[in-house]
Amino acid sequence: MTPPSSEHYAELAALFTTVPEESIKPSIELLLPAHLPVQGGLWLVPYAGREAAGGTAILVRMHEDTLDVAAIGTGNIELNGCVSMEDVLARTSSSAVHWIIQPPADADPTSLLHCDADSVTLLSGADQAAVVGAYRLLKGLITSAGSKKEVPTMRLVVVGAEERSASDAASRIVQTAQLQLNVKLDVGPALPAMGSTSKVISQVSFSRGSNVVDLMGKIRSANSDQDMLETTDRIEKPFVFDEPVVSFVDTIDAVPNEKHETDSVSKTTPEPIATPIEEQPSVETAAQASAIKSEYASYIDGLLAIAPRCPEHNHVELAVDMDGRLHVLADADDLRDVAIVSAWIVRHGSLLAMACGGLKLAEGVTPVQHIFTDDAVAVADLHGTDVRMHLLAEVQVKGATGIFCTPLN
């Protein structure tokens, strides 16, 4: 037998010592537009152009039934003729691109937190309505997550404002998120103007066939499939056990039934859990209904609930509208407390503004009073007053139970 040559040794050494080339792995960014300036959708392309950073960014805007895909930046990616996401991935798999995904408006907040994105960016304007809108979006994500530990690191980018205004707005949003939700936000560079440097290389639209989670999964798998080495089937036949599999349950049943002194006790002792379990549903249902009705601000459009409360009146809720005006909300039976809290707000408005962090509150304005009831007749004598009344009750539609709320004046 011919002894191995030096070339053979070199090839063998290279097999164990050569570092394989790193595969091209895509970076995926989840983009969540909050309250953007007028024609807010136009800000997405300039933002994607800046994030391309001299390379290529693929902006995917998900709508109810369609997908808009655009290649932005530099490069020669041609998307014309693509009729599916698979076609787009086939033309971009060999390029190092940065994916920016805007989820559809009806996306489940829980899915947005578990969609395998490398980063999450919150895009917002700089006015008071934008601050409130950004906070409402964040609160929805936190509420759906259930635990702050499950919330990924998020970045805030303010668009359509000069550096000073953008910095002020970012500070208010960050402070509010920290104080009210205990969530930390990173702040990215502001985008003051749209500019004309964002080059759209090519773009295409086609029918949407998946949700945001599945879409990101396709992007990941399209690149990982190329990294897989060719393998051969090493197992041509399934394993066959020579010995029969012994069931653990059968083994236990086969053990002789030895009589112990405790056997008679265990057989005669009634099950203590059976009776209480049947009594629990009504208590849980009542508690659930109480929890649903506890956040009255969620039933009025344009209101943002805030955490601070008037001392000794914690059951009376406080909220702020887009103009920074405070609102007081409570059950109709607590109308007297609503008046007390309103007077307290007038006296301690500056203190309350400090407790609200970045929210800008209107000063010297009387709070708006709201009461909620499930009996419209009981509050009929309050018509003509400044108190805003709302009917809030459980209703059943086609066998399903839900909460219905409507204004009474």
pLDDT tens column, 371-391: 999 988 888 888 888 899 999
Alpha-carbon distance of 85 to 94, in angstroms, equals 15
Q: What are the tokens at 80?
A: 């014309």
- pLDDT band, residue 234 (cuts 50/70/90): very low
Residue type present at position 289? A
pLDDT digits (tens, 9 = 90+) for 135-176: 888 887 777 766 556 667 789 999 888 888 888 888 888 888
pLDDT of res. 1 = 55
Q: What are the tokens at 96?
A: 């190092």
Phi then psi for residue 32, to 5 deg, are -115, 100
pLDDT at 329 over 90: yes
pLDDT digits (tens, 9 = 90+) for 30-54: 988 887 776 667 788 888 888 888 8
pLDDT at 273 over 70: no
Dihedral of CA 285/286/288/289: which sign? positive
Which segment of 184-198, 256-270, 297-311 scores lowest on mean pLDDT? 256-270
- Report the pLDDT averaged over residues 258-267: 47
pTM: 0.56
- pLDDT band, residue 337 (cuts 50/70/90): very high
**Residue 80 bridge partners (DSSP):** none
Distances (CA, A) of 15 to 18, 19, 23, 290: 6, 9, 18, 67
Give 148: exposed, middle or buried? Use CB within 10 Å, 0-12, 13-18, 19+. exposed
Give 180: exposed, middle or buried? Use CB within 10 Å, 0-12, 13-18, 19+. buried
